[in-house]
């Protein structure tokens, strides 16, 4: 076993987070946790995970759930399309059975490369190279000496991760340990290298400990932003959906000032209508005559 792997697992045994999805072998429960953890902080996920499983405890209950019920259950997690994709995935599982390997997990609606690998490890208990932002950061820094690795570094990072991941035994602990380590020590911009137990093996630690610390380069925003709005469109779409969820029915003309205090009816009306149209296209709302919005009926 690689020396860095040994030290990382020793740290993990002492400092691992006690999370509910780590205490189950139920593939459905693990699927829901991985779905929720995409783009959402662990602290927000834990209570929603427990609530969601009470409401939809099985693949079948999720497969037969109505859109309004799913949107209500998903409130507060963001990226609402995830829960509709999850229903489609559940229908696939009900029809064809629970996936047992990475390609079949990947075939489910809404399951990308990271989630397929994670489900292969945690639900199917087969070795897979699980690579997310946290793991990319740790492997890129320790093995390759890259202070701020990006997607373009993934081929090299995956090769290094393969070296660090045991072929038998505790391979499922590697991604969990790295996620916890990234949350506690190997932070995105200011890692605590001075007290890091992997410092001696890390090829980037001396860069962070030097007088001229590396600075994370600014990257051009990829999310859609309207005019001079302080947030990307997805934040305002979430606010629109929250209003529809709370009011049951509401018109476009009533929404503007609720989602944006600086809403300008001249400059922002087309933007508002376009966001509502995208929500309708995603199946999250229905737009009736007179520009009235509501949740779908089923």
Alpha-carbon distance values, 148 to 134, 210, 221, 222, 239 (Å): 11, 16, 17, 18, 33
Give the β-pairing of 286-287 and 249-251: unpaired
With 0-12 / 13-18 / 19 or more C-beta atoms within 10 angstroms meaning exposed / middle / buried, residue 20 is middle
Supply 282's token pair. 């995603």
Supply 286's token pair. 């229905």
Q: Which residues are catalytic?
A: 34
For residue 60, the SS3 value is helix
For residue 150, the SS3 value is coil
The DSSP line for 14-37 is HH----GGGG---HHHHHHHHHHH
Supply 274's token pair. 């376009």
Distance in angstroms (rounded) separating the CA atoms of residues 105 and 102? 5
For residue 69, the SS3 value is helix
Distance in angstroms (rounded) separating the CA atoms of residues 179 and 137? 10
Q: How many CB atoms lie within 10 A of CB 157?
A: 24
The residue behind tokens 């991941």 is: 165
């Amino acid at each position: 076993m690689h020396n860095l792997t040994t030290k990382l697992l020793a740290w993990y045994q002492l400092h691992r987070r006690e999370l509910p999805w780590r205490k189950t072998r139920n593939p459905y429960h693990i699927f829901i946790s991985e779905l929720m953890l995409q783009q959402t902080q662990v602290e927000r996920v834990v209570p929603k995970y427990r609530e969601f499983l009470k409401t939809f405890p099985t693949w079948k209950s999720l497969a037969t759930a109505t859109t309004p019920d799913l949107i209500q259950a998903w409130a507060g997690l963001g990226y609402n399309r995830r829960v509709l994709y999850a229903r489609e995935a559940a229908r696939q599982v009900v029809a064809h059975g629970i996936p047992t390997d990475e390609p079949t997990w990947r075939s489910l609606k809404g399951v990308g490369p990271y989630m397929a690998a994670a489900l292969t490890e945690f639900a199917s208990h087969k070795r897979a190279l699980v690579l997310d932002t946290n793991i990319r950061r740790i492997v890129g820094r320790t093995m390759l000496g890259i202070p701020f690795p990006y997607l373009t570094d993934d081929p090299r990072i995956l090769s290094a991760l393969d070296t660090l991941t045991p072929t038998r035994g505790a391979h499922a602990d590697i991604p969990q340990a790295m996620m916890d380590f990234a949350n506690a020590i190997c932070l995105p911009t200011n890692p605590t290298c001075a007290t890091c137990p992997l410092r001696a093996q890390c090829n980037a630690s001396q860069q962070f400990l030097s007088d001229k610390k590396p600075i994370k380069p600014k990257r051009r925003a990829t999310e859609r932003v309207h005019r001079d709005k302080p947030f990307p469109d997805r934040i305002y779409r979430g606010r629109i959906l929250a209003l529809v969820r709370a009011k049951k029915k509401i018109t476009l003309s009533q929404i503007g000032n609720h989602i944006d205090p600086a809403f300008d009816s001249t400059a922002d009306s087309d933007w508002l209508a376009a966001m509502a149209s995208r929500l309708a296209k995603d199946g999250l709302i229905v737009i009736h005559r007179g520009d009235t919005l509501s949740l779908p009926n089923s």
